[in-house]
């Protein structure tokens, strides 16, 4: 998963290591592993004296003293010029991986802030320093808005009502079935409510899932009121001590005023506890843009990205939370009911960096 993005992040790490490779100074040498040895003590003294003398005559170059002293003590300073080309290459790589431009810029700014002026022992690994900076930068953008879904369900007053929305064909109905299975494994009962009264065959599709999972389905005839269907689902849950109502809705574009009005009515009538936006991870920038548009039109609480197992780029997973301020909560990773993974930013970053 996201193998293309992994490779590009690894390329950045290598680029910085190569760019920041120190020159071998007089009085120092390289061991058999290519690591630069620390200069002798008398060379350190001379280097510091020379640096202080040079710095005194050039008030505009405070970094020269820093670099000279660092070299004299066996250290290396990472400077802006060391990072300029690697950061440019990383920016292009992120954009090619469908990371939204503002998100890519935020990642680069964080990396630059973490690395410029950093000193390290020549015997240490520049790659480790870069990896730490990448980890911090990626977590900063991926973790926006994160909350513990399981804890939210556990502490909420029952029944918990969750409504799913998004465009056609991205796997909303299958995701509902997967989440019903996910909840059952954690001891929660659920009822499915088909608020997709617009599409022919919608009742049959969700009924197949309900029967396969042994779940009750609440449905009306095609053309009925979606808000009424989900409301009936809530009433059924209240009367039968069911923990969670999972409400499907018709696929729609944010520009469809009639269908967006239906979502607004569902919000008014049902007042769902969570509204989850579903889209395909492989849709990349389109998924990020749609998430923002849906959030603007009818506020979402989080996102589920399907087909994550088929996505080599990772742009949507990286970008959605930062753009909307609402977290990615789950990744769909296959066709089976068990193929739904909790989205864990730290685990994702570890995977991206090969930790």
**At 288, which CATH number?**
3.40.50.300
What range does the domain containing 264 cover? 149-343
Q: Which of 103, 118, 142 is the last residue of a domain?
A: 142
Q: Quick one: 39 and 162 in the same domain?
A: no
Q: Assign 197 to helix, strand or coil.
A: coil
Q: Quick one: 42 and 111 in the same domain?
A: yes
What is the average pLDDT value for the chain, to the nearest integer?
82
CA distance 267 to 116: 48
Q: Quick one: 164 and 228 in the same domain?
A: yes
pLDDT number for residue 12: 83
Q: Quick one: 114 and 217 in the same domain?
A: no
User: Domain of 16: which CATH number?
Assistant: 1.20.120.140
Q: Does residue 87 form part of some domain?
A: yes
Q: Quick one: 105 and 189 in the same domain?
A: no
pLDDT tens track for 243-288? 999 999 987 666 667 777 788 888 889 999 999 999 999 999 999 9
Do residues 349 and 142 make contact, with C-beta atoms less than 8 angstroms apart?
yes
Q: Does residue 221 form part of some domain?
A: yes
Q: Quick one: 197 and 117 in the same domain?
A: no
Q: Quick one: 136 and 176 in the same domain?
A: no
Report the first-to-last Cα separation within the chain, whole angstroms. 15
Residue 295: which residues within 8 A CB-CB, separation 6 or more? 277, 324, 325, 326
**Alpha carbon separation from 346 to 105, 135, 268, 281, 352 (Å, rounded):** 20, 9, 36, 18, 10
Q: Which of 88, 119, 142 is the last residue of a domain?
A: 142
Q: Quick one: 117 and 70 in the same domain?
A: yes
pLDDT number for residue 326: 95
Q: Quick one: 40 and 115 in the same domain?
A: yes
pLDDT number for residue 57: 47
């Amino acid at each position: 998963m996201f193998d293309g993005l992994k490779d590009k992040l690894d390329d950045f790490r290598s680029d910085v290591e190569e760019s920041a490779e120190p020159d071998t100074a007089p009085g120092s040498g390289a061991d058999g592993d290519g690591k630069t040895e620390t200069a002798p003590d008398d060379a350190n003294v001379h280097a510091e004296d020379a640096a202080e003398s040079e710095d005194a005559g050039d008030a505009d170059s405070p970094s020269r003293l820093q670099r000279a002293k660092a070299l004299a003590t066996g250290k290396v300073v990472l400077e802006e010029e060391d990072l300029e080309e690697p950061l440019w290459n990383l920016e292009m790589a992120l954009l090619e991986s469908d990371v939204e431009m503002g998100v890519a810029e935020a990642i680069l700014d964080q990396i630059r802030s973490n690395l410029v002026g950093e000193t390290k022992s020549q015997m240490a690994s520049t790659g480790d320093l870069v990896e730490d900076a990448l980890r911090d930068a990626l977590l900063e953008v991926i973790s926006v808005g994160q909350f513990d879904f399981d804890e939210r369900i556990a502490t909420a007053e029952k029944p918990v009502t969750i409504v799913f929305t998004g465009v056609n064909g991205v796997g909303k109905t299958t995701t509902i079935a997967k989440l019903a299975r996910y909840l059952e494994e954690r001891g929660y009962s659920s009822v499915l409510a088909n608020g997709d009264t617009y599409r022919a065959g919608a009742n049959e599709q969700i009924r197949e899932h309900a029967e396969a999972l042994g779940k009750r389905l609440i449905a009306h005839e095609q053309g009925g009121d979606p808000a009424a269907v989900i409301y009936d689902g809530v009433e059924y849950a209240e009367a039968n001590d069911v923990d969670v109502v999972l409400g499907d809705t018709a696929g729609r574009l944010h520009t469809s005023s009639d269908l967006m009005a239906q979502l607004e009515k569902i919000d008014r009538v049902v007042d769902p506890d969570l509204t989850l936006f579903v889209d395909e991870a492989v849709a990349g920038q389109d998924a990020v843009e749609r998430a923002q548009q849906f959030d603007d039109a009818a506020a979402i609480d989080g996102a589920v990205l399907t087909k994550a197992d088929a996505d080599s780029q990772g742009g949507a997973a990286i970008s959605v939370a930062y753009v909307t301020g609402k977290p990615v909560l789950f990744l769909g990773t296959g066709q089976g009911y068990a193929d739904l993974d909790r989205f864990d930013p730290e685990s994702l970053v570890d995977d991206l960096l090969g930790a």
